[in-house]
Amino acid sequence: MSTEKFCPGCGVSDVGGPIPADIVHHYVPWDIGKQGREAANEWLKTNEWPTWQRFHGIEVRGAYDGILIWQCPDCDHLWPRFSKENWETMHNRAVAHIKVMKESKDDVHPVQG
């Protein structure tokens, strides 16, 4: 359902364990999930079972409303969510905040995502 990503620091995959069956209907495509568990179960018979994402998303208040920086749970490597090619302004903000975070480690609030 999602494209596998890898940590640029250690190379570990972001694919975690399978999402439990009792809540998986919340993690299928929205138009299927809103129909309830039976529709989700039918969809899951012919599609890949969703998994948790292992990387931690970090929000930076005042910089962007959402995840700006990813952090690896294995090696603590930090990297920008947005590539320079896709959104240079947000990429540069992330790079600046990563530099500050590495220097101080203050006000870091990881959000599992």
pLDDT tens digits, one per residue of 7-53: 999 999 999 999 998 888 888 888 888 888 888 889 999 998 889 99
Which is nearest to 107 in space by CA: 62, 54, 74?
A: 62
Q: What is the arithmetic mean of pLDDT over 85-103?
A: 87
Q: What is the mean pLDDT of residues 55-68?
A: 89
Question: Is this model's pTM higher than 0.75 or not?
Answer: no
Q: Answer yes or no: do 60 and 108 share one domain.
A: yes
> 55: pLDDT confidence band, cut at 50, 70 and 90?
very high
Whether 21 and 48 map to the same domain: the answer is yes
In a domain, 9, yes or no: no
Range of the domain at 108: 56-112
Contacts with 104 (C-beta within 8 Å, 6 or more apart), sequence order: none
Considering the domain boundaries, does residue 6 fall inside one? no
**What was the pLDDT predicted at 105?**
63
Please give the tally of structural domains in the chain. Answer: 2
